[in-house]
Chain A
Amino acid sequence: DGGITQSPKYLFRKEGQNVTLSCEQNLNHDAMYWYRQDPGQGLRLIYYSQIVNDFQKGDIAEGYSVSREKKESFPLTVTSAQKNPTAFYLCASRGLIGANTQYFGPGTRLTVL
């Protein structure tokens, strides 16, 4: 099955810890994205990457880091510098042909204890 997978589905973290969220896609999409979703707010872009080994900051990149070593994978690290990390994190990808829009994974719910 083609699609986007995110793991884990639920993640709990103690304050002061870094944590990495996984995102993998087998759609052969070039671009990948990380969003954060909070109640009552629209999706906010954290980082995106159009090609391997290159990525750009979105609107709320502070306290987050990413890597793009493979086309299929775009992990997000939530660092201890992120002041309010409890949220629903969504990964998306986009191909460069066809319906040139973003498709989303199932999400990871991060809770800081």
Chain B
Amino acid sequence: QKEVEQDPGPLSVPEGAIVSLNCTYSNSAFQYFMWYRQYSRKGPELLMYTYSSGNKEDGRFTAQVDKSSKYISLFIRDSQPSDSATYLCAMRTVSGANNLFFGTGTRLTVIP
């Protein structure tokens, strides 16, 4: 079993839709959770960074962590064609700053 599981998609939605992207994990010691956005042939860009459980909102993006279910989500409201990218989740333990565990990424396409 992989440490982090992420549905690769692809996921296609119409412009303006709410998008839900998810990852599950097996290691209960993970405390820091990240979402990166990666455009084609570019490096990943940090979108959201959260510690432990709860929600964090930044503009149209909301990151949610449910540690009891070992499940994290990224919600995108009012999705735009410019949101079309691959979204990677990543996570680590408190002492594991050098050891990030990544999902394989979900490819999202927002159709105008």
Is A41's CB under 8 angstroms from B100's CB?
no
CB distance from B61 to the nearest CB of A (A): 15
Chain B contacts to A: CB under 8 angstroms: 4, 8, 32, 34, 36, 41-46, 49, 88, 97-105
Docked pose: A21 CA to B102 CA in angstroms: 23
| Shortest Cβ distance from B42 into A: residue | A106
Docked pose: A87 CA to B3 CA in angstroms: 23
Chain A contacts to B: CB under 8 angstroms: 4, 6, 31, 33, 40-43, 45, 48, 50, 56, 88, 90, 94, 99-107, 109
Is B102's CB under 8 angstroms from A105's CB?
no
Chain A interface helix/strand/loop/mixed: strand
Is B88's CB under 8 angstroms from A105's CB?
no
The 8 Å CB contact of A103, one of B46, B99, B104, is B46
Is B88's CB under 8 angstroms from A43's CB?
yes
